[in-house]
Amino acid sequence: MNSARIREIEMTFDDIGSGAALILLHGYPFDRSMWRDQIDFLSAHGYRVIAPDLRGLGQTLSTGEITTMEDMAQDVAERLDDLKIERAVICGLSMGGYVAFEFAHLFPNKVRALVLAGTRAPADNEQEKQVRKQQAQRMLAEGMDFVADATLAKLLAPRTLAEKPEVVARVREMILRSDPKGAAAAQRGMAVRRNYSDDLPSLDVPALVIVGREDPIRPVADAEFMHRQIRNSRLKIIEDAAHMTNMEQSGVFNAALLTFVEGLVAPENDRFESR
């Protein structure tokens, strides 16, 4: 575990392995521990893996009332600058995907490729914004228990719930240990995020779009839309998984990720140009 001062916060992150860099951006209301299997796997395969706790979540505390996707993307960019990483594969799941879109928009030259898992491009409609607002208020009043109770059955496929108690426990614990103030700030930030659909046709890096076949939160249709709109993209649908594809089917997720990154053609002696 590492930590560094960035833009008035102390960011906690893992930085493991050496080689071309991948940045793993977690979802909401989670933390970098959701990437444990990917960190172990990719670092063992010759990559440098950086997984931050995004502003207000995990161990990266923040007292702000709203954390925008732009805030999170800027934090990550600054961390990469400090680590002297010029370009990296940016991989985000759900909220992490929104941060990846914002990062690619703000810092296109830092992106070698994108991995977009369980996410979507359109902004929220008015009703969705209202739900986020209410949830943010409720979290501040009651804490995170109701979030875990209400969302586990959507985050995880029936098979995961029945057969993978360790994954169920990890997801529940991540939610419960989130700081309600940081989670509420992220909810408010997601409510005001841009519509990333217009960005998709102009993304000119390779992209891998991943979705769980049984994800009710960001269903297959959202992934198919991104795949159609991003010129140089491929789509991986993971069976027996819902929203937390990387935890529910980590072997399948890891294999898809490795195939994708190994397939990135880079100039000789400059794998990803990011060592």
- The smaller minimum CB distance to ligand MLT, of residues 161 and 217, is found at 217
Contact 270, 95 (CB under 8 A): no
95 binds ligand MLT (CB under 6 A): yes
User: Strands 111-117 and 233-238: what pairing?
Assistant: unpaired
Query: Shortest Cβ distance from residue 11 to ligand MLT (Å)?
Result: 18
Identify the residue among 27, 56, 182, 189 touching ligand MLT (CB under 6 A): 27
- The smaller minimum CB distance to ligand MLT, of residues 55 and 87, is found at 55
Q: How far apart are CA 208 and CA 233, in angstroms?
A: 6
Contact 47, 22 (CB under 8 A): yes
- The smaller minimum CB distance to ligand MLT, of residues 45 and 181, is found at 181
Q: How far apart are CA 133 and CA 173, in angstroms?
A: 23
For residue 11, what are the β-bridge partners? 4
Binding flags for ligand MLT, 203-242, as an x/- string (CB under 6 A): --------------x-------------------------
Identify the residue among 33, 60, 94, 160 touching ligand MLT (CB under 6 A): 94
28 binds ligand MLT (CB under 6 A): yes
Q: How far apart are CA 54 and CA 35, in angstroms?
A: 13
Q: How far apart are CA 260 and CA 272, in angstroms?
A: 12
Binding site for ligand MLT (CB under 6 A): 27-28, 94-95, 190, 217, 243
